[in-house]
Amino acid sequence: GVRTEFEDRDVDTLCPFCGVGCQTTAHVKDDKIISVDGRDGPANENRLCVKGRFGYDYIDHAGRLTKPLIRRDDAPKDWQAEMRDGDYSAVFREATWEEALERATGGLRAIRDEHGPFSMAGFGSAKGSNEEAYLFQKLVRTGFGSNNVDHCTRLCHASSVAALMETVGSGAVSAPFTAIDDAECAIVIGARPAQNHPVAATYFKRAAKRGTKLIIMDPRGQNLSRYASHSLQFKAGRDVALLNAMLYTIIEEELYDRQYVQANTEGFEELQERVKDYSPEEMEKVCGIEAAVIRDVARTYATARTSIIFWGMGISQHVHGTDNSRCLITLALITGQVGRPGTGLHPLRGQNNVQGASDAGLIPMFYPDYRSVETDEVRESIESFWGKPMDPKRGLTVVETINAIHDGQVKAMYIMGENPAMSDPDQNHARQALAKLEHLVVQDIFMTETAWHADVILPASAHAEKTGTFTNTNRQVQLARQVVPPPGEARQDWWITQALAQGIGLDWSYLHPKDVFAEMAQVMPSLNNITWDRLEREDSVTYPCDAPDEPGNEIIFVNGFPTTSGRGKIVPAKLIPPDELPDNDYPMVLTTGRMLEHWHTGAMTRRATALDMLEPEAVVMVNARDILRMGVEPGDYVQVQTRRGTILLKVRQDGDVPEGMLFIPFCFAEAAANVLTNPQLDPFGKIPEFKFCAARIEPVQAV
Ligand code: SF4
């Protein structure tokens, strides 16, 4: 962009809203951002979507927390706000930083010392920087003494990562989404990139226009299908039936890459055996796609010179999410569609730093760089580096932590930048747990639904108020620079985490995020040849990177896989039904997700003026026939109910939603979709089944 007379400086930084990782320039006047432009980053080449361009002013929202807050002694813990940003003075009083930190750390110390390390847990954030994630998990592991640390990756790609680690030995993407430029065929399954990764979608559209065969597979329709060669709206929850039928076709018609399979994989014979029961002709009734179409898609993918697969939450957020991912990985492995330009496996990461936060060890089973907490040599080396003994058992995941609070095991929590009161499944259950905690410290920028349950709230920094590194879906480590100061007495997140660490007895003395990055680089081989100075100069470096003067390897698995055998492991999957099937009482299928204008729980985007004007109220998307059957008009209020709760919201007619399905974005606190969702977990990734539960919808009187 060009600087105008209306601004006094420009700062190069990053969009905070999604895993695409668009580079931006913020234009500033009197310490306020007045506009944002796209920069020429490797993932966006000057483009931005509506969130990146117009979503920035949430940082100036009147509801920003600007002073530390302490819960009043007489305020009941289960008090729930009727409205966001309402008056909280009856529940919290303002405090100095000194008093708030003393109260926060005093409570944490007391519970740790009385009940031991397993009574403590922490949720960090995929919205924070790599440095913040690293410090957070280090605090939990060395200060609380357990591995009870997790973040919302558990709710998005945990099952994809479980499958990728098991089969190809690395949880990250094998190629950037820009690799679609070299692909003859691309499958996009369980994802809506035009809504959720909009700038990535522009690359997909361009590739399709240039001749890439774009195959879209999802129970809901989407506008990207206009660019597709094939669009398969299969039955929700029947992914494995469809994918195994594709594998059946590829094996039966001998379209697999025999040489690649022999040289680079293991487990092919078990797969041959398993998929025998999944012929397209058998599976067409199960998944709702004609056998001829399944065969055509399988042939297109397998016989293209280069094919790449992209997937999203529609694959991962199921009790069979790991199985879904295993099938996709198997497709790539048996056809050799990986490790070359234009091929690969790309789980589209949702949060701006979900890749980096996971890499930095913000997960209960792994230290930084996915080294198991249960491997003695690994633990001993980390113990000697951090100078503290650590627990040899994996910790609790997000939903397990909520259950452990109900069971009385977990009594104190530190939550930074996460909103489990909104994001977790079966919300009433999650909120009751938060209210039950003996001590809860929340670090955030707004009075989130979670913060209402806190004992101490520490006012933190928004994306534009801090400097740090972030790793996008393409494995590009990028530098975000501070644009404006935090408001009032709000502080940088790394500073707050360090103050808490010091208060619970850790001798930390980092002076700047770059000190943290330097320490991370010592324990994370993935950051080899990536330095802070380099990022200041170059803005973005892809990991793994072989030399200080190389841009990093966009494509991995060129020569085998980082598994013990060096081979990719084929793990066949069986068709498992969704946990809660529709019945007479709850005849519809409810699925949840995001929308273009709002990000996740809406804590940021619903406070951004332009985005809130575009999508100001809670809606449920429903097929026209179901609306007609109910006898209501689009815009009328309806009631949606599941076995876990009921919400009231407006109905919107949506041709993308098939008959018998309801879609509710989970960003609306006033009609929260997660009151309804099923907390049943995938056994491997421990991810809840947000994409499928039984529901019913009924008209109500105008409200
Ligand atoms: Fe921001 Fe993602 Fe939109 Fe890019 S695509 S501007 S990173 S929300």
pLDDT tens-digit map of 120-179: 999 999 999 999 999 999 999 999 999 999 998 777 778 898 999 999 998 889 999 999
Ligand 1: centre distance to CA 609 (Å)? 17
pLDDT range class, residue 2, cuts 50, 70, 90: low
Answer for the pair 699, 629: CB distance below 8 angstroms, yes or no.
no
Ligand 1: centre distance to CA 43 (Å)? 10
**pLDDT tens digit sequence for 46-89:** 999 999 999 999 999 999 999 999 999 888 776 655 545 568 88
Nearest to 516 by CA among 380, 368, 351: 368
- Please identify which residue in the block is written with the tokens 């940088």: 492
Is pLDDT at 254 greater than 90 in this prediction? yes
Ligand 1: centre distance to CA 596 (Å)? 10
Is pLDDT at 702 greater than 60 in this prediction? no
- Under DSSP, is residue 362 helix (H, G, I), strand (E, B) or coil? coil
**pLDDT tens digit sequence for 11-27:** 999 999 999 999 999 99
d(CA 396, CA 138): 16
Q: What one-character-per-residue DSSP string does 187-228 give?
A: EEES--HHHHSHHHHHHHHHHHHTT-EEEEE-SS--GGGGG-
d(CA 465, CA 89): 26
* Helix (H) or strand (E) run with residue 286 in it: helix 280-287
Pick 268 or 152 by higher pLDDT: 268
The contacts of residue 373 (CB under 8 Å, 6+ apart) are 147, 364, 365, 366, 367, 379, 390, 391, 392, 393, 394, 395
Average pLDDT score over residue span 630-656: 95
Pairing of strands 637-642, 645-653: antiparallel
Q: What one-character-per-residue DSSP string does 9-23 give?
A: EEEEEE-SSSTT--E
Ligand 1: centre distance to CA 613 (Å)? 19
Q: How many residues does the chain have?
A: 703
What's the Cα-to-Cα distance from 576 to each of 162, 301, 318, 430, 556, rounded to whole Å? 17, 25, 10, 27, 31
Output DSSP code: residue 78. T
Buried b (16+ CB within 10 A) or exposed e, 202-234: bbbbebbeeebbbbbbbbbbbebbebbbbbbbb
**pLDDT tens digit sequence for 196-224:** 999 999 999 999 999 999 999 999 999 99
Strand ranges (E), 487-570: 540-542, 568-569
User: What residues are in contact with ligand 1 under a 6 Å CB criterion?
Assistant: 15, 17-18, 20-22, 44, 48-49, 51-52, 197-199
**pLDDT tens digit sequence for 364-423:** 999 999 999 999 999 999 999 999 999 999 999 998 999 999 999 999 999 999 888 887
> What is the predicted ipTM?
1.00
Q: What is the mean pLDDT of the chain?
A: 93
Nearest to 289 by CA among 239, 229, 254, 331: 239
Identity (one letter) of the amino acid at 629? R
- From 44, 351, 354, 605, give the residue whose CB has the most ligand 1 atoms within 8 Å, as the site to mutate: 44
pLDDT range class, residue 687, cuts 50, 70, 90: confident
- From 13, 48, 203, give the residue whose CB has the most ligand 1 atoms within 8 Å, as the site to mutate: 48
